[in-house]
Amino acid sequence: MDHPGNLFVVSAPSGAGKSSLVKALMELDSHVQPSVSHTTRAPRGQEKHGREYFFISEPEFDAMVAADGFVEWANVHGRRYGTSRRAIEERIAQGADVVLEIDWQGALQIRKSFADAVLVFILPPSWEELRSRLERRGEDSADVIELRLANARQEMAQVGKFDFVIINEVFERALFDLKTIVHAQRLKVSAQRRARADTFASLDIPAS
Ligand SMILES: Nc1nc2c(ncn2[C@@H]2O[C@H](COP(=O)(O)OP(=O)(O)O)[C@@H](O)[C@H]2O)c(=O)[nH]1
Ligand SMILES: Nc1ncnc2c1ncn2[C@@H]1O[C@H](COP(=O)(O)OP(=O)(O)O)[C@@H](O)[C@H]1O
């Protein structure tokens, strides 16, 4: 590919539906690729090393931090999570559009390193629905659910720092909104490239 790809960041409180939305987006759009993060949390039931996350120990995480192996990392719900520098830089350079599912602290670090990254925040329609999604998912203990709900309040307070906000009430509608954001970013970048390459020249538009 000639051009680097786009970088999208999707953040949300736990249970708002970001993993489901990003997974559905990737099924519809083969040009969008995930970045598999590293974490020190334990795998859930169906999770596989290298698919949802690279599950590593605290010392292994320390070693990656020391080697500058992360473009960003953060402490979330008492565990550490990080995005490997190599994984995203290689893919973007190859022209893929990469989606990071990371928390707000990571999102703001990404914006510092990648000024063109598009930051999307997913909100649940209500607190009751957020709680019931966490309970229905059936993957976390009652204590973990309470911790995640308590943390959700501070996470949601960051929503104003994001470029776009999607309320995930009706899933298909939220997915449409996410697809629209990806599409709009591609159009924007393509228009900028064409303007730079002067490929609108046949229209003889006066320079501004
Ligand atoms: N900063 C940062 N946050 C991450 C990363 N990977 C996952 N997270 C965030 O860590 C939080 C917990 O993720 P997880 O344990 O999978 O729970 P879930 O959000 O309920 O599915 C979520 O807010 C994720 O977005 C990462 O590489 N960096
Ligand atoms: N719009 C929606 N309506 C109802 N349930 C949803 C919706 N979006 C996601 N869910 C469900 O809510 C739960 C949490 O979603 P998940 O994608 O795991 O959230 P997150 O990755 O933000 O923690 C899952 O069981 C998922 O199937």
User: Checking DSSP bridges between strand 164-167 and strand 118-123, what pairing results, if any?
Assistant: parallel
Ligand 1 within 6 A of CB of 174: no
Boundaries of every domain in the chain = 7-196
Helix or strand holding residue 182 (H, E):
helix 171-197
Q: What is the ipTM of this complex?
A: 0.97
Q: Bin 181: left if φ > 0, else alpha if -120 < ψ < 50, else beta.
A: alpha
d(CA 130, ligand 2 centre) in Å = 9
> What is the CATH code of the structural domain delimited by 7-196?
3.40.50.300
Tokens 């906000």 belong to residue: 165
- 24 by Cβ neighbours in 10 Å (0-12 / 13-18 / 19+) ranks as middle
Continuous segment of H or E residues that includes residue 32: strand 32-34
Instruction: Tell me how far the alpha carbon of residue 10 lies from the centroid of ligand 1, in angstroms.
Output: 10
CB neighbour class for 198 (10 Å; exposed up to 12, middle 13-18, buried from 19): exposed
User: Encoding tokens for residue 157?
Assistant: 């307070």
Ligand 1 within 6 A of CB of 185: no
Does ligand 1 have an atom closer than 6 angstroms to the CB of 19?
Answer: yes
Prediction pTM value: 0.94
- For atom 8 of ligand 1, the residue with the nearest CA is 102
pLDDT tens track, the chain, 208 positions? 468 999 999 999 999 999 999 999 999 999 999 999 999 999 988 999 999 999 999 999 999 999 999 999 999 989 999 999 988 999 999 999 999 999 999 999 999 999 999 999 999 999 999 999 999 998 889 999 999 999 999 999 999 999 999 999 999 999 999 999 999 999 999 988 888 777 666 777 776 6
